[in-house]
Amino acid sequence: MIGSGNSAAEVALDLLEHGAGRVQMWVRGARHVISLKTFGRIATVGRLLGMFSEKKVAEALRVRFGTPEFDAVVAQRDRMVSRFSQDLSQWGLAKPTTPPMRDALVNARIPLFDQGTVREIKRGRIGVIDGNRRAIEAFSERGVRFSDGEEAFDLIVLATGFEPGLEEFIADRELLAPQRGRKFLPITDGQGRSTVHPSIFFPGFDPTPAGGQALGHLGWAAGSAIAAELARG
């Protein structure tokens, strides 16, 4: 298993639970790890405290990425979430120095929301290969050739994440710009609407302090705006 995100962790656990004799995760980057049950409790407490009310979410969605206000809201949420990020460095999973919410929204590295993989790593049933010490040089007929030698594997799963690839099918390249690293993302007003051609919408591409709730709210807003544009003819 190559990768350390949620897909990699869940597939590794599925393989183990369905009879795989040996499962290894090749990991190179640091990753926050938070129990999914714990994260659910955080969300429940947040709702009880009024942090995730409809009003609060609406206020968060008005905060633009890259502003001091954005940083302040993310820092506030990190004060709650950071304490639940596990230190698994002794088992080969390094913990980032960047807090989890900021790591997700700014660096686009979503925490691993654990559903049982960590338990099996601690038990030694899922191994972790340090990709910084054992670089992958090539795949071979037997398995993988690492920098320190070849190792046999019956199956190799690439769970290395994904990028939108908008530049591959959007002909008008002025709609996009390198953002958050080297990824080409839409140039928007922070609410899903293109600032280059305001009749074009990209809901779901704007990082917001509301996290995953943004797509639903901003998608609905974009749909309403599109409907209004069409109604005007």
**pTM to 2 decimals?**
0.81
Q: Which residue has the higher pLDDT, 171 or 13?
A: 13
What confidence tens digit (pLDDT) does each residue in 113-149 have?
A: 999 999 999 999 999 999 999 999 999 999 999 999 9
pLDDT at 4 over 70: yes
Bridge pairing between strands 112-114 and 33-35: parallel
Q: Structural domain boundaries of the chain? A: 6-152, 166-231
pLDDT given at position 213: 67
In our burial notation (b when 16+ CB lie closer than 10 A, e otherwise), range 50-59 reads ebbeeebbee
What confidence tens digit (pLDDT) does each residue in 91-109 have?
A: 999 999 999 999 998 888 8
Instruction: Return mean pLDDT, the chain.
Output: 89
In our burial notation (b when 16+ CB lie closer than 10 A, e otherwise), range 154-172 reads eeebebeeeebebeeebee
